[in-house]
Amino acid sequence: MPRPPNLEVEAATNGYITPHEERFVSGASPLESSRLHERRVLNSNNQAAPSPASLSKMLSNAQKQGHSTKVGLRDRIGCHQWNWFTMTMATGGVSNVLHTLPYDVTWLHYIGLVFMMINICFFLANCALAIMRFSFSPGAFIHSFTDQMECLFIPAVHSPPGHLFHILLMMYELWLTYSILQVVSAGIILINVCEYGMPHTGPWLQHVVEVLFWVYITVSVTASCGMYLILWSTQIFPIHTMTPVWVFPAYPLLLAAPFATNLITGVTHQESGIVIHRLAISLCALTVQGTGFLISFMVCAAFLYRLMTQKLPQDMQRPGVFISIGPAGFTCAGIVVLGSQVDIILPDDMDGRLYAIWSLRVMSIVMGLWLWGLSKWFFVVSVGSLHKYLRKEHTMPFQMTWWSFVFPNTALVTATSALAKAFDNTGLKIYSCVMAAMLIFVWGLVLIRMMKALWRHELLWPKEVESD
């Protein structure tokens, strides 16, 4: 029997070698299985602390063993997870897409309004389910920190219990939990309010939304920085497990420019003569938007490295590939629309105002084209990653992450609509409408599949105890 190659020598000669996915899943090769066994023995001899994954499995098995044969409503609510908020992000994104289409049609406005109301209902329902989940199961809140499906949505704190510092960290983490998960959904709702509410209300809503804009910026920046800091301090994510979901803590920053543009547009369409701080809002939105995009860009670069050294993610992680479309798409839409609004943003007494307006508009369109191309490239790669599911022998189990097929693509559609308006190009206008129709079709398919999963006990249903 041939002797297996010496991986340590190869690594020392050729540099760092990232492990393959098969080393951490069932069906690994004998060499890899023996190495994992040796590591487990070594850890047991050294009495090392259990990993977060093993703790998660222990807690999960303990909770599942507590279920009786008959599953009640409390048990089903206890299976609610944070990734259910992706449903509200997708639904609100569809409402935003319908409003930004280059054709001003009345029936599209009412369809978008319906999606906005459905999104608000979904958001309130998810908030209620999350609160009931933690109320019914006191350990569920801590379990959500260690669960591998939720670890990127919930930061984890490890410090000695009973200390004041631990209590303060837990309070801060609780605030981060609700802010980072709901701030994106809340940001989408506020954008929808600007689009569908401000043109039909008085100055009071304009003042309220302007204040909420600054509140949103403060919360999004604080939550994003805090969540990344806690993740980097308490969690270990190997590069071979990397997916674009790592971008998620930066997503609240990516809604700053779309929020600002819709706020400025909503106030401009009013005849009340109300004045808001357009220049301050625009500069702040550009700063936050640029920060979020650069963070996302660096994370996506790491994802490309992971693809070059490993392969495409596993089936359950495959929908997360679409998240890489969002950063460039949202930034493109925000910059292009801000460029079109520069004539009402710059002060009237500014020196060289006409030259500045022309220069900024050209610059915004050029940057928008670059970002639109990047978003489109990620879209093609993401769709291509699903090629194997065209064969009957390959199936993708339904997860709430399927809503990632919708929400990131709303950014691409809004970016296409913004460029179509900027160029006044009929082809791009028709193309954006076709993309919007396909997006609504996908939204309906995912919703139907989710309802079937609920009926078939694939969602909100306690799973069997995992075998050792």
- Residues 9-57 have pLDDT tens digits of 434 343 344 444 444 444 444 344 444 444 544 454 444 444 444 444 4
Place of tokens 């400025």: 264
Give the span between the Cα atoms of 110 and 95, in whole angstroms: 10
Q: Are 219 and 210 in contact (CB under 8 A)?
A: no
Question: Which tokens is 100 given?
Answer: 């930004």
Other residues' Cβ atoms within 10 Å of the Cβ of residue 349: 6
Q: For residue 333, give the H/E element and its range.
A: helix 326-340
Give the span between the Cα atoms of 61 and 147, in whole angstroms: 12
Q: Are 399 and 353 in contact (CB under 8 A)?
A: no
Give the span between the Cα atoms of 298 and 380, in whole angstroms: 20
Give the span between the Cα atoms of 408 and 67, in whole angstroms: 37
Q: In sequence order, what are the residues at sequence separation of 6 or more whose Cβ sits closer than 8 angstroms to the Cβ of residue 181?
A: 82, 85, 153, 154
Maximum C-alpha span of the chain: 85
Buried b (16+ CB within 10 A) or exposed e, 77-110: bbbbbbbbbbbbbbbbbbbbbbbbbbeeeeebee
Give the distance, in angstroms, between the CA of residue 104 and the centroid of all CA atoms in the same chain. 29
Question: Which tokens is 324 given?
Answer: 């890489």
Buried b (16+ CB within 10 A) or exposed e, 234-263: beeeeebbbbbbbbbbbbbbbbbbbbbbbb
Q: For residue 155, give the H/E element and its range.
A: none
Give the span between the Cα atoms of 239 and 246, in whole angstroms: 11
Give the span between the Cα atoms of 19 and 313, in whole angstroms: 14
Q: Are 408 and 325 in contact (CB under 8 A)?
A: yes
Confidence (pLDDT) at 180: 53
Confidence (pLDDT) at 39: 53
Q: Give the mean pLDDT per block of 10 residues along the chain (468 residues).
A: 45 41 41 47 45 44 50 69 80 93 90 92 82 64 47 38 49 48 81 88 85 92 84 77 82 93 80 74 95 93 87 79 92 95 88 90 95 95 85 77 89 95 94 95 92 81 51
Other residues' Cβ atoms within 10 Å of the Cβ of residue 203: 13
Domain boundaries, the chain: 1-48, 49-455
Confidence (pLDDT) at 277: 87
Q: For residue 138, give the H/E element and its range.
A: none
Is the four-CA dihedral 60, 62, 63, 66 of positive or negative sign?
A: positive
Closest-CA residue to 241 (of 49, 23, 3): 23
Question: Which tokens is 449 given?
Answer: 């599949």
Confidence (pLDDT) at 175: 45
Question: Which tokens is 323 given?
Answer: 């998240």
| DSSP per residue, 212-237 | HHHHHHHHHHHHHHHHHHHHHHH---
Q: Are 284 and 345 in contact (CB under 8 A)?
A: no
Domain 49-455 has CATH 1.50.10.150: yes
Question: Which tokens is 447 given?
Answer: 């919703």
Rg of the chain over CA atoms, in angstroms? 24
Give the span between the Cα atoms of 285 and 462, in whole angstroms: 43
Q: Strand, helix or coil at 51?
A: coil
Q: Which CA distances in Å does 286 have to 196, 345, 385?
A: 24, 13, 32
Give the distance, in angstroms, between the CA of residue 143 and the centroid of all CA atoms in the same chain. 21
Q: In sequence order, what are the residues at sequence separation of 6 or more whose Cβ sits closer than 8 angstroms to the Cβ of residue 393?
A: none
pTM: 0.76
Q: Which amino acid, 329?
A: G
Q: Are 404 and 322 in contact (CB under 8 A)?
A: yes
Confidence (pLDDT) at 465: 37
Q: Which amino acid, 27?
A: G
Give the span between the Cα atoms of 289 and 174, in whole angstroms: 25
Q: Which amino acid, 172?
A: Y
Closest-CA residue to 333 (of 246, 432, 249): 432
